Amino acid sequence: MISVHGLRKHYKVHKRPPGLKAALRSLFHRTYTSVKAVDGISFDIRPGERVGFLGPNGAGKTTTLKVLSGLLHPSEGEVRVDGHVPRLREEAFLKKIMLVMGQKQQLLWDLPPAETFELNRAIYDVPTLQYKQTLDELVGLLEIGDLIGKPTRQLSLGERMKCELAAALIHRPRVLFLDEPTIGLDVSMQATMRTFIKDYNEKYGATLILTSHYMDDVAALCPRVIVIDKGLLSYDGSLEALVQRVRPEKRVVLRLSEVVDASRLESLGKLVTHEAGTAVLQVKQDAVNATISRALSGLPVTDLTVENAPLEEVMSELFAENKARRLQTAESVPA
Amino acid sequence: MNARGLMRALPTMLRVSFAESVAYRAEMFVWVLSTTMPLVNMVLWMAVAKSAPVGHFGQADFVGYFLATFAVRQLTSAWAAWLINWEVKQGTLAMRLLRPISPLWGYASDNVAGFPMRVVVALPVVLLSIALVGAHKAVPQHAWQWGLFLVAVLGGWAITFLANVAIGALSLFLDSSQKMMEVWMVLFFVCSGYMYPVEFLPDGLRTVIDWLPFRYQMGLPVELMTNAHDLPTALGLVARQWAWVLGMGALAVGLWKQGVKCFAAFGG
Ligand SMILES: Nc1ncnc2c1ncn2[C@@H]1O[C@H](COP(=O)(O)OP(=O)(O)OP(=O)(O)O)[C@@H](O)[C@H]1O
Ligand SMILES: [Mg+2]
């Protein structure tokens, strides 16, 4: 459905030096620097997949999504979305896709969202019956019946984001690019959005790429993740395998009925946190069973769970690894 | 988008744009206040014409001319350059580019939809003019004059809108096209007949101005409204106006297409 081959996107930035004289000179002689936002990435996505697109700030995620939706031309490389070359912005292509950006909105600010829905119906030439169906469904699932008649400017951020998503789906896009759709939303609103996005994907078999800095989104929605960092691909595979690779250790969480000396806990494994009746130990996977039985026999344990390391930690460790590797290669290159 | 799809989409686009213009009416009236320059000019020129007419313009002629100028400015104004510039800076142009219809249709619809509100502003001024100086100096007298006047208003709007698009499109290449717009506006004030009837200019200058677009934005509709031309002259001028509509259209669409490409290539 989506194939990306050797994609590079280098922004050309016009450098304007400070000062009037320099500004005048730059009118005639412009100097450009180039920002390597995406620097050679490749991946393929099958129809109906939900893929999490992860990376630290400035990694090149938004840039890639903009290239995929035809807003930016690749500097190099091949990009195909359902057989179309996005750069050409063919009508058939634009009718198949949608890019939702948590930071940008398409809803008309002074009018109720219902007007934007209607506008999109007309622009995407959605048949009336299908429009009615889609709208009913969206209104029901997102619970926005009361909202779509109020001017957009009067809606809260979360309410607006729900309407924003509805507006993006009026034409039932087959491919959906979601760039931080849950940014700034509270936990329950995030959960609502997630459930809805998953339902949409399952119901219509839409292909979905999602970026988010909230790992809960990714864990709930994306069986597969692609990680990019400084414009380079650093991981492509299942989320589980990523956790296994970066942090194979498990966490044993113990709830204790009495205060226990830290040294007794440390003898069982690496003590991650220890406070008011709860201790978290990090242990190798093959040592989990032994640790559990030793803890149960030797400590006043009231409850015990085994967990993976939090995804946030896995990600920051991965990014730190990448950074260390970049520094190393930079040093090994003779100046 | 093909023509059929466009025809189906446009009524809804216009209706929504109209609803927006109604929601914006407060801003609209502020804008109207900022276009009262013709009234100032009217008072100035009336003072000049107090003792003797200027050319064949007496005081009543100036009243008719400048009230017509006010009305025509209402009917032919466009603000697409400002809007494009702003959307490029804010990055909201991306949302328009995602849709399967050229953003230019959206801008046109936004501009056209303000029309009814503008008529509401212009109409009382026209009626006032009739009351002050008589219908023959304030509005067209014959059916053909009305017809050509309306064609000229449409042409004037089209040139203004398309020039706005052309200048707005420059912001896709440059950091900002705001300066260009200011230069354009100065030329407009000097050359269009907005500040004074173009016939006050010396002959050599008038020939130049007849080849520039500005007079066809403003002066020509005003002249037709105040019955300044006979039929053959009027037809000739309207033909020139529409040649400018076509030329400006080609320029605007060309610059826009090139601009969007450049924008996408350099990074939006
Ligand atoms: N229009 C632009 N012109 C120049 N450089 C840009 C432009 N847009 C982005 N960049 C640069 O390209 C790099 C990648 O930016 P991008 O927005 O793709 O990152 P991101 O992964 O989406 O980050 P975030 O998580 O912060 O949203 C950054 O270094 C950024 O500064
Ligand atoms: Mg981003």
Chain A CA closest to residue B94: A71
Give the model's pLDDT for residue A27: 64
Cross-strand pairs, A236: A226
Q: Of the segments A263-267, A329-333, B56-60, which one has the largest average pLDDT value? A: B56-60
Give the model's pLDDT for residue B268: 58
Each residue's pLDDT tens digit, A207-217:
999 999 888 88
User: Mean pLDDT throughout A205-232?
Assistant: 92
Contact A104 B266 (CB under 8 A): no
Each residue's pLDDT tens digit, A21-44:
766 776 667 777 888 999 999 999
Least confident of A87-91, A197-201, A304-308, B143-147: A304-308
Top residue of A125, A171, A176 to mutate, by most chain B CBs within 10 Å, is A125
What percentage of chain A exceeds 90 in pLDDT? 56
Ligand 1 atom, smallest distance to A63 CA = 18
Contact A13 B267 (CB under 8 A): yes
Ligand 1 atom, smallest distance to A13 CA = 4
**Ligand closest in space to the Cα of A60:** 1
**Who surrounds ion ligand 2 at CB < 5 A?**
A 62
Q: For A248-308, CATH number?
A: 3.30.70.980
Give the model's pLDDT for residue B213: 96
Is the pLDDT confidence value at A180 over 60?
yes
* Interface check A72 vs B, CB under 8 A: yes
Residues in chain B whose Cβ is within 8 Å of chain A: 1, 5, 8-9, 11-13, 16, 19-20, 23-24, 91-92, 94-95, 97-101, 175, 261, 264-268
Reduced 3-state DSSP string for chain B: CCHHHHHHHHHHHHHHHHHHHHHCHHHHHHHHHCCCHHHHHHHHHHHHCCCCCECCECHHHHHHHHHHHHHHHHHHCCCHHHHHHHHHHHCCHHHHHCCCCCHHHHHHHHHHHCHHHHHHHHHHHHHHHHHHHCHHHHCCCCHHHHHHHHHHHHHHHHHHHHHHHHHHHHCCCCCCCHHHHHHHHHHHHHHCCCCCCHHHCCHHHHHHHHHCCHHHHCHHHHHHHCCCCCHHHHHHHHHHHHHHHHHHHHHHHHHHHHHHHHHHHHCC
Contact B8 A122 (CB under 8 A): yes
d(CA B227, CA B148): 11
ipTM over 0.90: no
User: Mean pLDDT throughout A100-127?
Assistant: 93
* Structure confidence at residue A17 as a pLDDT band (50, 70, 90): low
Q: What are phi and psi of A102, to 5 degrees?
A: -55, -25
B39 min Cα distance to partner chain A (Å):
32
Give the model's pLDDT for residue A259: 83
d(CA B178, CA A232): 38
Give the model's pLDDT for residue A16: 65
Question: How far away, in angstroms, is A61 Cα from ligand 2 center?
Answer: 6
Determine which residue's CA is closest to atom 24 belonging to ligand 1.
Answer: A57
All structural domains of chain A with their residue ranges = 2-243, 248-308
Each residue's pLDDT tens digit, A277-311:
888 988 888 888 888 888 888 888 889 899 888 88
User: Mean pLDDT throughout A109-131?
Assistant: 95
Question: How far away, in angstroms, is B96 Cα from ligand 2 center?
Answer: 19
Q: Which residue has the tokens 């320099």?
A: A22
Contact A210, A51 (CB under 8 A): yes
Chains A, B: CB contacts within 8 A come to 83
User: Mean pLDDT throughout A3-24?
Assistant: 80
Q: What are phi and psi of B56, to 5 degrees?
A: -100, 20
Assign a CATH topology to domain A2-243: Rossmann fold (3.40.50)
Contact B175 A14 (CB under 8 A): yes
Is the pLDDT confidence value at A8 over 80?
yes
* Structure confidence at residue A331 as a pLDDT band (50, 70, 90): confident
Whether the model pTM is above 0.90 = no
Is the pLDDT confidence value at A88 over 90?
yes
Determine which residue's CA is closest to atom 31 belonging to ligand 1.
Answer: A58
Contact B99 A11 (CB under 8 A): no
Give the model's pLDDT for residue B5: 86
pLDDT in tens, chain B (268 residues): 778 888 999 999 999 999 988 887 777 777 777 788 899 999 999 999 888 888 889 999 999 999 999 999 999 989 899 999 999 988 889 999 999 999 999 999 999 998 888 898 899 999 999 999 999 999 999 999 999 999 999 999 999 999 999 999 999 988 778 888 999 999 999 999 999 999 899 989 999 999 999 999 999 999 999 999 999 999 999 999 999 999 999 999 999 999 999 889 877 5
Give the model's pLDDT for residue B90: 87
Contact A66 B20 (CB under 8 A): no
Greater confidence (A108 vs A263) lies with A108
Query: Does ligand 1 come within 6 angstroms of the Cβ of A37?
Result: yes
* Mean pLDDT taken over chain A: 89
**Ligand closest in space to the Cα of B94:** 1
Is the pLDDT confidence value at A335 over 60?
no
Give the model's pLDDT for residue A334: 60
